[in-house]
Amino acid sequence: MAGYTLSALEADIRSYTEVSSTVLTGAILSRFIEHAEYRIFYDVPSDNNRFVSEGNLAVDTNNINVAGLGTEGHTGTVFVRGVEVFNSTVNTEGKGTWLIKKDQTYLSEYTDRLTGPEGNLTAQDVTGLPKYYAMFGGATGTSSTTSGGLYLAPTPDANYMHRVYYDMVPKSLVTKTSGTYVSQYFPQGLLYATLVEAFGFLKGPMDMLTLYENKYKQEVAKFAGVQIGRRRRDDYTDGTVRIPIKSPSP
């Protein structure tokens, strides 16, 4: 399967737009590529952005920092799919419990705690195996627990093992220049999305901008059909996909 490296994509962008590197410099194209990647990321929830992190909860600490969960150059947690806590402190062989997602206000009412500066919950009146979680912050940092994460209720009374299932913004082709999941498995979509950025920057021609915008929409529909269609089912569980064919009239 033919895919894109950073240099190959840059060469194609300049070829399609018929503009040299003196106008479309590497720095400018890098921004276009990043914008295109973010567009694809938000348009299609693809499996390559799914991650699982394991760890131990801290006793008397009612939050988990999800901003720093990322690995391999990923930029941060965008949203959490689920949280599982085990009634064990050494492994995940204990009984797992899926936490119920609630709003932070619900957790405050549930535990009847006091609210401290910046919304941090300080008085931890209810302890035990966590049952609920709530999102807070923007997940913009990697060290501070106040930069983005999860509130838990009740507050853990032991170092329970936990798993967090989450989605992250993938590493960009700008930094992983040899290729990314999108550049290898959805190269045409990345090309068209980047061309939309390029022709917008060049102020036209508008017919070309419209052409590549429509091409992107056509390709992203196919990509979505794989990511949230075929990759979410199998023949044994869901049955083989069948397309009805009308019989000829007698």
Mean of all residue pLDDT scores within the chain: 84
Neighbouring-strand partners of residue 36: none
**pTM confidence score:** 0.79
Instruction: Find out whether 169 and 89 touch, Cβ atoms under 8 Å.
Output: no
| Phi, psi of 86, deg, nearest 5 | -110, 145
Report which of 209, 188, 205 is spatially closest to residue 197, judged by C-alpha positions: 209
Instruction: Find out whether 65 and 77 touch, Cβ atoms under 8 Å.
Output: no
Residue at 217: amino acid letter: K
| Phi, psi of 238, deg, nearest 5 | -105, -10
| Phi, psi of 123, deg, nearest 5 | -85, 110
Digit-coded pLDDT (tens) for 41-60: 999 988 888 888 888 999 98
Counting every residue written for the chain, the total comes to 250
* pLDDT score at 69: 59
Residues 6+ apart with CB under 8 A from 174: 6, 30, 33, 34
For the record, the structure tokens of 12 come out as 């194609």
Judged by average pLDDT, the poorest of 7-16, 91-100, 110-119 is 110-119
Query: Quick check: 146 pLDDT over 80?
Result: no
Beta-carbon-side half-sphere exposure of residue 142 (alpha carbons within 13 Å): 8
